[in-house]
Structure 1
Amino acid sequence: MIIQKHDQDLNTPTGTMRCTVYRPQAEGRFPCIFFYSEIFQQTAPIARSAAIMAGHGFVVVVPEVFHELNPIGTVLGYDDAGKDKGNADKFTKPLEAHDSDTVAMLDYFAQQAYCNGQFGSMGVCLGGHLAYRAALNPRIQASFCLYATDIHSNTIPCNEGNDSFTLTEQIQGELVMVWGKQDPHVPAEGRSKIYQHLLDTERNFTWYEVNGQHAFMRDEGERYDPALALEFYAKAVALFQKNLHKN
Protein backbone atom coordinates (compact mmCIF):
# COMPACT_ATOMS: atom_id res chain seq x y z
CA MET A 1 0.00 0.00 0.00
CA ILE A 2 1.09 3.59 -0.64
CA ILE A 3 1.46 5.44 2.65
CA GLN A 4 1.46 8.95 4.02
CA LYS A 5 2.92 10.41 7.19
CA HIS A 6 2.44 13.36 9.47
CA ASP A 7 3.50 14.52 12.93
CA GLN A 8 1.05 14.75 15.79
CA ASP A 9 1.88 16.38 19.12
CA LEU A 10 0.05 14.92 22.12
CA ASN A 11 -0.33 16.26 25.61
CA THR A 12 0.88 13.87 28.31
CA PRO A 13 1.22 14.25 32.08
CA THR A 14 4.97 14.76 31.57
CA GLY A 15 4.84 17.19 28.65
CA THR A 16 4.25 17.40 24.93
CA MET A 17 5.09 14.22 23.02
CA ARG A 18 5.75 14.31 19.29
CA CYS A 19 4.44 11.27 17.44
CA THR A 20 5.02 10.51 13.77
CA VAL A 21 2.09 8.75 12.14
CA TYR A 22 2.58 6.45 9.14
CA ARG A 23 -0.64 5.24 7.55
CA PRO A 24 -2.17 4.10 4.27
CA GLN A 25 -3.22 6.75 1.79
CA ALA A 26 -6.32 4.67 1.04
CA GLU A 27 -9.61 5.62 2.63
CA GLY A 28 -10.73 3.45 5.49
CA ARG A 29 -10.22 2.62 9.13
CA PHE A 30 -7.12 0.63 10.02
CA PRO A 31 -5.66 -1.06 13.12
CA CYS A 32 -3.14 1.01 15.03
CA ILE A 33 0.34 -0.13 16.10
CA PHE A 34 2.47 1.84 18.55
CA PHE A 35 6.06 1.38 17.37
CA TYR A 36 8.51 2.13 20.19
CA SER A 37 12.04 3.04 19.17
CA GLU A 38 15.40 2.20 20.61
CA ILE A 39 17.16 4.76 22.83
CA PHE A 40 18.10 6.92 19.82
CA GLN A 41 14.45 7.87 19.12
CA GLN A 42 13.19 8.06 15.53
CA THR A 43 16.28 7.40 13.45
CA ALA A 44 16.16 6.65 9.73
CA PRO A 45 16.07 2.86 10.32
CA ILE A 46 13.15 3.26 12.75
CA ALA A 47 11.29 5.40 10.20
CA ARG A 48 11.83 2.77 7.52
CA SER A 49 10.59 0.01 9.81
CA ALA A 50 7.46 1.99 10.60
CA ALA A 51 6.85 2.61 6.90
CA ILE A 52 7.20 -1.10 6.10
CA MET A 53 4.57 -2.00 8.68
CA ALA A 54 2.22 0.81 7.61
CA GLY A 55 2.40 -0.41 4.03
CA HIS A 56 0.70 -3.61 5.14
CA GLY A 57 -2.45 -1.79 6.17
CA PHE A 58 -1.74 -0.39 9.62
CA VAL A 59 -1.60 3.01 11.26
CA VAL A 60 1.87 3.02 12.80
CA VAL A 61 2.62 5.60 15.48
CA VAL A 62 6.23 6.31 16.49
CA PRO A 63 6.39 8.34 19.73
CA GLU A 64 9.44 10.22 20.93
CA VAL A 65 10.11 7.98 23.90
CA PHE A 66 12.22 10.55 25.78
CA HIS A 67 10.18 13.65 24.96
CA GLU A 68 10.52 15.00 28.50
CA LEU A 69 14.31 14.96 28.31
CA ASN A 70 15.00 16.39 24.85
CA PRO A 71 13.76 19.11 22.50
CA ILE A 72 11.03 17.98 20.11
CA GLY A 73 12.54 16.32 17.06
CA THR A 74 15.70 15.08 18.79
CA VAL A 75 17.36 12.10 17.10
CA LEU A 76 20.50 10.69 18.67
CA GLY A 77 23.38 9.36 16.61
CA TYR A 78 24.53 5.76 16.46
CA ASP A 79 27.81 6.74 18.09
CA ASP A 80 29.28 6.91 21.58
CA ALA A 81 27.75 10.30 22.32
CA GLY A 82 24.34 9.09 21.22
CA LYS A 83 24.64 5.89 23.24
CA ASP A 84 25.69 7.79 26.35
CA LYS A 85 22.83 10.27 26.08
CA GLY A 86 20.25 7.59 25.20
CA ASN A 87 21.28 5.34 28.07
CA ALA A 88 21.24 8.28 30.47
CA ASP A 89 17.69 9.05 29.34
CA LYS A 90 16.68 5.40 29.70
CA PHE A 91 17.83 5.31 33.30
CA THR A 92 16.18 8.68 34.07
CA LYS A 93 12.63 8.25 32.77
CA PRO A 94 10.50 5.96 34.95
CA LEU A 95 8.26 3.27 33.54
CA GLU A 96 5.24 5.07 34.94
CA ALA A 97 5.89 7.97 32.54
CA HIS A 98 6.05 5.52 29.64
CA ASP A 99 2.70 4.14 30.82
CA SER A 100 1.07 7.57 30.70
CA ASP A 101 2.53 8.12 27.21
CA THR A 102 0.83 4.94 26.05
CA VAL A 103 -2.50 5.99 27.56
CA ALA A 104 -2.25 9.37 25.82
CA MET A 105 -1.76 7.61 22.48
CA LEU A 106 -4.60 5.17 23.10
CA ASP A 107 -6.99 7.96 24.01
CA TYR A 108 -6.08 10.13 21.03
CA PHE A 109 -5.90 7.56 18.27
CA ALA A 110 -9.07 5.80 19.38
CA GLN A 111 -10.87 8.98 18.30
CA GLN A 112 -9.31 9.30 14.85
CA ALA A 113 -11.45 8.50 11.82
CA TYR A 114 -8.61 6.53 10.18
CA CYS A 115 -8.24 4.13 13.14
CA ASN A 116 -10.54 1.20 13.81
CA GLY A 117 -10.04 1.35 17.59
CA GLN A 118 -7.90 -1.77 17.86
CA PHE A 119 -4.32 -1.52 19.05
CA GLY A 120 -1.05 -3.39 19.09
CA SER A 121 2.49 -2.59 20.14
CA MET A 122 5.87 -3.29 18.59
CA GLY A 123 9.40 -2.22 19.39
CA VAL A 124 13.11 -2.88 19.26
CA CYS A 125 15.67 -2.85 22.08
CA LEU A 126 14.32 -0.40 24.68
CA GLY A 127 11.27 -0.25 22.44
CA GLY A 128 10.86 -4.02 22.73
CA HIS A 129 10.56 -3.53 26.47
CA LEU A 130 8.13 -0.65 25.99
CA ALA A 131 6.00 -2.77 23.64
CA TYR A 132 5.93 -5.45 26.36
CA ARG A 133 5.14 -2.79 28.93
CA ALA A 134 2.33 -1.42 26.78
CA ALA A 135 0.83 -4.92 26.75
CA LEU A 136 0.06 -4.49 30.44
CA ASN A 137 -2.72 -2.21 29.26
CA PRO A 138 -5.76 -4.37 28.36
CA ARG A 139 -6.47 -2.19 25.31
CA ILE A 140 -3.32 -3.58 23.65
CA GLN A 141 -4.40 -6.74 21.86
CA ALA A 142 -1.05 -8.00 20.52
CA SER A 143 2.62 -7.13 20.99
CA PHE A 144 5.71 -7.92 18.95
CA CYS A 145 8.83 -7.44 21.08
CA LEU A 146 12.28 -7.56 19.49
CA TYR A 147 15.31 -8.12 21.76
CA ALA A 148 13.67 -6.32 24.64
CA THR A 149 16.20 -4.99 27.13
CA ASP A 150 15.93 -4.52 30.90
CA ILE A 151 12.89 -6.73 31.53
CA HIS A 152 14.97 -9.47 33.12
CA SER A 153 17.22 -7.08 35.02
CA ASN A 154 14.66 -4.49 36.18
CA THR A 155 17.10 -1.66 35.52
CA ILE A 156 14.66 0.99 34.26
CA PRO A 157 13.45 3.07 37.22
CA CYS A 158 9.95 2.49 38.54
CA ASN A 159 8.01 2.35 41.77
CA GLU A 160 8.70 -0.69 43.90
CA GLY A 161 6.84 -3.72 42.59
CA ASN A 162 5.81 -1.94 39.39
CA ASP A 163 8.49 -3.38 37.11
CA SER A 164 7.47 -5.08 33.88
CA PHE A 165 8.65 -8.54 34.93
CA THR A 166 6.61 -8.54 38.13
CA LEU A 167 3.46 -7.36 36.35
CA THR A 168 3.64 -9.87 33.48
CA GLU A 169 0.45 -11.60 34.60
CA GLN A 170 -1.50 -8.47 33.65
CA ILE A 171 -0.76 -9.04 29.94
CA GLN A 172 -3.95 -10.19 28.21
CA GLY A 173 -3.04 -9.96 24.51
CA GLU A 174 -0.87 -12.25 22.41
CA LEU A 175 2.90 -11.78 22.70
CA VAL A 176 5.69 -12.57 20.28
CA MET A 177 9.17 -12.41 21.83
CA VAL A 178 12.21 -12.34 19.52
CA TRP A 179 15.81 -12.68 20.67
CA GLY A 180 19.27 -12.92 19.15
CA LYS A 181 21.42 -15.64 20.69
CA GLN A 182 24.48 -13.45 20.19
CA ASP A 183 22.91 -10.47 22.00
CA PRO A 184 25.02 -9.53 25.04
CA HIS A 185 22.35 -7.17 26.37
CA VAL A 186 19.97 -10.05 27.16
CA PRO A 187 22.13 -13.11 27.87
CA ALA A 188 20.86 -16.69 27.93
CA GLU A 189 20.07 -16.62 31.64
CA GLY A 190 18.02 -13.44 31.18
CA ARG A 191 16.07 -14.94 28.30
CA SER A 192 15.46 -18.10 30.30
CA LYS A 193 14.14 -16.08 33.22
CA ILE A 194 11.58 -14.30 31.03
CA TYR A 195 10.60 -17.49 29.19
CA GLN A 196 9.95 -19.40 32.41
CA HIS A 197 7.96 -16.51 33.85
CA LEU A 198 5.74 -16.38 30.78
CA LEU A 199 5.15 -20.11 31.17
CA ASP A 200 4.46 -19.82 34.88
CA THR A 201 1.95 -17.02 34.34
CA GLU A 202 0.31 -18.88 31.44
CA ARG A 203 0.58 -16.01 28.97
CA ASN A 204 -0.33 -16.46 25.31
CA PHE A 205 3.09 -16.12 23.68
CA THR A 206 5.36 -17.30 20.90
CA TRP A 207 9.10 -17.38 21.46
CA TYR A 208 11.91 -17.11 18.91
CA GLU A 209 15.66 -17.31 19.53
CA VAL A 210 17.72 -16.88 16.37
CA ASN A 211 21.37 -16.71 15.45
CA GLY A 212 21.49 -12.95 15.40
CA GLN A 213 23.03 -10.04 17.22
CA HIS A 214 21.39 -7.23 19.11
CA ALA A 215 19.66 -4.87 16.65
CA PHE A 216 19.75 -7.39 13.79
CA MET A 217 16.68 -5.64 12.33
CA ARG A 218 18.42 -2.26 12.04
CA ASP A 219 19.33 -1.68 8.42
CA GLU A 220 22.44 0.32 9.26
CA GLY A 221 25.62 -1.06 10.76
CA GLU A 222 27.42 -4.35 10.86
CA ARG A 223 24.81 -6.25 12.90
CA TYR A 224 22.09 -6.03 10.25
CA ASP A 225 20.80 -9.37 8.98
CA PRO A 226 18.51 -8.68 5.99
CA ALA A 227 17.19 -12.25 5.75
CA LEU A 228 16.22 -12.35 9.42
CA ALA A 229 14.71 -8.87 9.18
CA LEU A 230 12.49 -9.91 6.27
CA GLU A 231 11.39 -13.02 8.14
CA PHE A 232 10.40 -11.12 11.25
CA TYR A 233 8.62 -8.30 9.48
CA ALA A 234 6.43 -11.03 7.99
CA LYS A 235 5.83 -12.55 11.42
CA ALA A 236 4.92 -9.15 12.85
CA VAL A 237 2.45 -8.48 10.05
CA ALA A 238 0.89 -11.91 10.61
CA LEU A 239 0.50 -11.31 14.35
CA PHE A 240 -1.30 -8.02 13.88
CA GLN A 241 -3.45 -9.22 11.00
CA LYS A 242 -4.57 -12.09 13.20
CA ASN A 243 -5.35 -10.05 16.29
CA LEU A 244 -6.35 -6.59 15.09
CA HIS A 245 -9.38 -7.36 12.97
CA LYS A 246 -10.58 -4.53 10.76
CA ASN A 247 -14.08 -3.22 11.25
Structure 2
Amino acid sequence: MIKILLCDDHAVVRMGLKMLLNNHPELEVIGEASEGNEAIEKSLELAPDVVVMDLSMPHGKDGLSATIELKKKKPEISILILTMHDDEEYLFKAIQAGASGCLLKSSPHDELISAIRSVASGEAYLHPSATKRLMEEYLNTVKSGDTDHFELLSEREKEVLTLIAKGFSNKEIAEQLYISVKTVETHKSNVMEKLKMKTRPELVQFALKKGLLGYGI
Protein backbone atom coordinates (compact mmCIF):
# COMPACT_ATOMS: atom_id res chain seq x y z
CA MET A 1 0.00 0.00 0.00
CA ILE A 2 1.35 3.42 -1.02
CA LYS A 3 0.25 6.11 1.43
CA ILE A 4 -0.30 9.51 -0.20
CA LEU A 5 -0.70 13.08 1.06
CA LEU A 6 -2.30 15.56 -1.35
CA CYS A 7 -1.30 19.22 -1.24
CA ASP A 8 -3.19 21.65 -3.48
CA ASP A 9 -4.87 24.97 -2.70
CA HIS A 10 -8.01 23.97 -4.63
CA ALA A 11 -10.38 21.72 -2.65
CA VAL A 12 -12.09 20.51 -5.83
CA VAL A 13 -8.76 19.38 -7.27
CA ARG A 14 -7.90 17.50 -4.09
CA MET A 15 -11.31 15.82 -4.08
CA GLY A 16 -10.90 14.70 -7.69
CA LEU A 17 -7.40 13.37 -7.11
CA LYS A 18 -8.50 11.56 -3.96
CA MET A 19 -11.36 9.80 -5.76
CA LEU A 20 -9.05 8.84 -8.62
CA LEU A 21 -6.23 7.51 -6.47
CA ASN A 22 -8.42 5.64 -3.99
CA ASN A 23 -9.88 3.67 -6.90
CA HIS A 24 -6.55 1.86 -7.12
CA PRO A 25 -6.24 -0.82 -4.43
CA GLU A 26 -2.52 -0.25 -3.86
CA LEU A 27 -2.97 3.51 -3.33
CA GLU A 28 -4.45 5.27 -0.30
CA VAL A 29 -4.86 9.00 0.29
CA ILE A 30 -4.25 9.44 4.02
CA GLY A 31 -4.39 13.21 4.23
CA GLU A 32 -4.82 16.56 2.50
CA ALA A 33 -3.27 20.01 2.79
CA SER A 34 -4.09 23.35 1.19
CA GLU A 35 -0.63 24.95 1.39
CA GLY A 36 3.00 24.10 2.12
CA ASN A 37 3.15 24.61 5.87
CA GLU A 38 0.14 22.35 6.37
CA ALA A 39 1.72 19.76 4.06
CA ILE A 40 4.86 19.72 6.20
CA GLU A 41 2.89 19.40 9.45
CA LYS A 42 0.69 16.58 8.14
CA SER A 43 3.67 14.77 6.60
CA LEU A 44 5.41 14.75 9.98
CA GLU A 45 2.19 13.53 11.61
CA LEU A 46 1.01 10.95 9.07
CA ALA A 47 4.31 9.77 7.50
CA PRO A 48 3.10 9.32 3.90
CA ASP A 49 5.21 7.51 1.32
CA VAL A 50 4.49 10.13 -1.33
CA VAL A 51 3.44 13.77 -1.17
CA VAL A 52 1.73 15.01 -4.32
CA MET A 53 2.60 18.71 -4.13
CA ASP A 54 1.14 21.56 -6.15
CA LEU A 55 3.92 23.90 -7.30
CA SER A 56 2.01 27.19 -7.22
CA MET A 57 0.00 28.03 -4.11
CA PRO A 58 -0.56 31.78 -3.57
CA HIS A 59 -1.47 31.51 0.11
CA GLY A 60 1.01 30.22 2.67
CA LYS A 61 4.17 28.35 1.70
CA ASP A 62 4.59 27.46 -1.97
CA GLY A 63 5.41 23.99 -3.26
CA LEU A 64 9.13 24.56 -3.79
CA SER A 65 9.71 26.03 -0.31
CA ALA A 66 7.68 23.23 1.28
CA THR A 67 9.64 20.60 -0.66
CA ILE A 68 12.98 22.01 0.51
CA GLU A 69 11.90 22.09 4.16
CA LEU A 70 10.17 18.71 4.10
CA LYS A 71 13.18 16.97 2.52
CA LYS A 72 15.34 18.34 5.33
CA LYS A 73 12.98 17.01 7.98
CA LYS A 74 11.90 13.78 6.27
CA PRO A 75 14.32 12.89 3.46
CA GLU A 76 12.73 9.45 3.08
CA ILE A 77 9.44 10.93 1.84
CA SER A 78 9.14 11.10 -1.94
CA ILE A 79 7.64 14.30 -3.37
CA LEU A 80 5.90 14.46 -6.72
CA ILE A 81 5.46 18.03 -7.95
CA LEU A 82 2.35 18.89 -9.97
CA THR A 83 2.61 21.98 -12.17
CA MET A 84 0.77 23.66 -15.02
CA HIS A 85 4.06 25.02 -16.40
CA ASP A 86 5.52 23.03 -19.30
CA ASP A 87 8.85 24.76 -18.90
CA GLU A 88 12.32 23.35 -18.23
CA GLU A 89 12.98 26.15 -15.73
CA TYR A 90 10.23 24.93 -13.42
CA LEU A 91 11.31 21.31 -13.80
CA PHE A 92 14.88 22.22 -12.92
CA LYS A 93 13.72 24.17 -9.87
CA ALA A 94 11.67 21.18 -8.69
CA ILE A 95 14.67 18.86 -8.95
CA GLN A 96 16.92 21.36 -7.16
CA ALA A 97 14.37 21.55 -4.37
CA GLY A 98 14.61 17.79 -3.83
CA ALA A 99 11.50 16.52 -5.60
CA SER A 100 11.56 12.92 -6.84
CA GLY A 101 9.38 13.73 -9.80
CA CYS A 102 7.53 16.41 -11.71
CA LEU A 103 4.31 16.06 -13.67
CA LEU A 104 2.08 18.40 -15.64
CA LYS A 105 -1.45 18.88 -14.30
CA SER A 106 -2.69 18.27 -17.83
CA SER A 107 -1.17 14.77 -17.90
CA PRO A 108 -3.45 11.71 -18.32
CA HIS A 109 -4.62 9.97 -15.16
CA ASP A 110 -2.64 6.81 -15.88
CA GLU A 111 0.56 8.87 -16.07
CA LEU A 112 -0.12 10.26 -12.59
CA ILE A 113 -0.55 6.72 -11.27
CA SER A 114 2.70 5.64 -12.93
CA ALA A 115 4.52 8.66 -11.52
CA ILE A 116 3.34 7.92 -7.97
CA ARG A 117 4.39 4.28 -8.25
CA SER A 118 7.80 5.30 -9.58
CA VAL A 119 8.67 7.84 -6.89
CA ALA A 120 7.28 5.55 -4.17
CA SER A 121 9.74 2.86 -5.26
CA GLY A 122 12.64 5.28 -5.06
CA GLU A 123 12.86 6.11 -8.75
CA ALA A 124 12.72 9.53 -10.38
CA TYR A 125 9.87 10.50 -12.66
CA LEU A 126 9.88 13.40 -15.07
CA HIS A 127 7.34 14.42 -17.65
CA PRO A 128 8.56 13.63 -21.19
CA SER A 129 9.10 17.35 -21.83
CA ALA A 130 11.95 17.23 -19.30
CA THR A 131 14.70 16.49 -21.80
CA LYS A 132 18.03 14.72 -21.46
CA ARG A 133 19.70 18.14 -21.48
CA LEU A 134 17.83 19.11 -18.32
CA MET A 135 19.17 16.11 -16.42
CA GLU A 136 22.70 16.61 -17.74
CA GLU A 137 22.63 20.27 -16.71
CA TYR A 138 21.43 19.37 -13.22
CA LEU A 139 23.99 16.60 -12.71
CA ASN A 140 26.82 18.84 -13.90
CA THR A 141 25.69 21.56 -11.52
CA VAL A 142 25.58 19.17 -8.56
CA LYS A 143 29.00 17.72 -9.39
CA SER A 144 30.57 21.16 -9.64
CA GLY A 145 28.97 22.22 -6.35
CA ASP A 146 27.77 25.40 -8.04
CA THR A 147 24.04 25.17 -7.38
CA ASP A 148 22.50 28.62 -7.80
CA HIS A 149 19.79 28.89 -5.16
CA PHE A 150 18.67 32.18 -6.73
CA GLU A 151 17.00 30.12 -9.47
CA LEU A 152 14.72 28.57 -6.84
CA LEU A 153 13.05 31.93 -6.26
CA SER A 154 9.75 32.76 -7.91
CA GLU A 155 9.46 36.04 -9.81
CA ARG A 156 7.49 37.57 -6.93
CA GLU A 157 10.14 36.47 -4.43
CA LYS A 158 12.82 38.10 -6.58
CA GLU A 159 10.78 41.34 -6.54
CA VAL A 160 10.49 41.20 -2.75
CA LEU A 161 14.21 40.45 -2.38
CA THR A 162 15.10 43.45 -4.56
CA LEU A 163 12.89 45.82 -2.56
CA ILE A 164 14.25 44.48 0.74
CA ALA A 165 17.77 45.12 -0.49
CA LYS A 166 16.79 48.66 -1.46
CA GLY A 167 15.81 49.30 2.15
CA PHE A 168 12.03 49.31 1.92
CA SER A 169 10.02 48.17 4.94
CA ASN A 170 7.53 45.32 4.75
CA LYS A 171 4.68 47.83 4.73
CA GLU A 172 6.24 49.82 1.89
CA ILE A 173 6.85 46.65 -0.12
CA ALA A 174 3.24 45.61 0.42
CA GLU A 175 2.02 48.96 -0.88
CA GLN A 176 4.26 48.84 -3.96
CA LEU A 177 3.29 45.27 -4.90
CA TYR A 178 -0.39 45.61 -3.89
CA ILE A 179 -0.21 42.67 -1.48
CA SER A 180 -0.66 42.34 2.28
CA VAL A 181 2.15 42.80 4.81
CA LYS A 182 1.61 39.19 5.87
CA THR A 183 2.17 38.04 2.29
CA VAL A 184 5.38 40.07 2.14
CA GLU A 185 6.56 38.41 5.34
CA THR A 186 5.77 34.99 3.87
CA HIS A 187 7.72 35.78 0.70
CA LYS A 188 10.63 37.11 2.75
CA SER A 189 10.66 33.93 4.85
CA ASN A 190 10.60 31.79 1.71
CA VAL A 191 13.46 33.78 0.18
CA MET A 192 15.63 33.39 3.27
CA GLU A 193 14.87 29.68 3.44
CA LYS A 194 15.68 29.06 -0.23
CA LEU A 195 18.88 31.13 -0.10
CA LYS A 196 19.85 29.61 3.26
CA MET A 197 20.21 33.03 4.86
CA LYS A 198 19.13 34.33 8.26
CA THR A 199 19.66 38.10 8.26
CA ARG A 200 18.68 41.14 6.19
CA PRO A 201 22.34 42.16 5.60
CA GLU A 202 22.95 38.75 4.02
CA LEU A 203 20.04 39.37 1.64
CA VAL A 204 21.39 42.81 0.73
CA GLN A 205 24.85 41.41 0.04
CA PHE A 206 23.36 38.66 -2.10
CA ALA A 207 21.21 41.13 -4.06
CA LEU A 208 24.29 43.27 -4.73
CA LYS A 209 26.22 40.29 -6.07
CA LYS A 210 23.32 39.40 -8.33
CA GLY A 211 23.10 42.95 -9.63
CA LEU A 212 19.51 43.35 -8.50
CA LEU A 213 20.15 46.95 -7.47
CA GLY A 214 21.47 47.96 -10.86
CA TYR A 215 25.10 47.49 -9.92
CA GLY A 216 27.14 44.57 -8.62
CA ILE A 217 30.14 43.97 -6.40
TM-score higher than 0.5: no
Which is helix-richer, 1 or 2?
2
Higher strand share: 1
How does the TM-score come out when normalised to structure 1? Answer: 0.28
- Largest Rg, 1 or 2: 2
Q: Which has the higher contact order (CA 8 A, sep 6+)?
A: 1
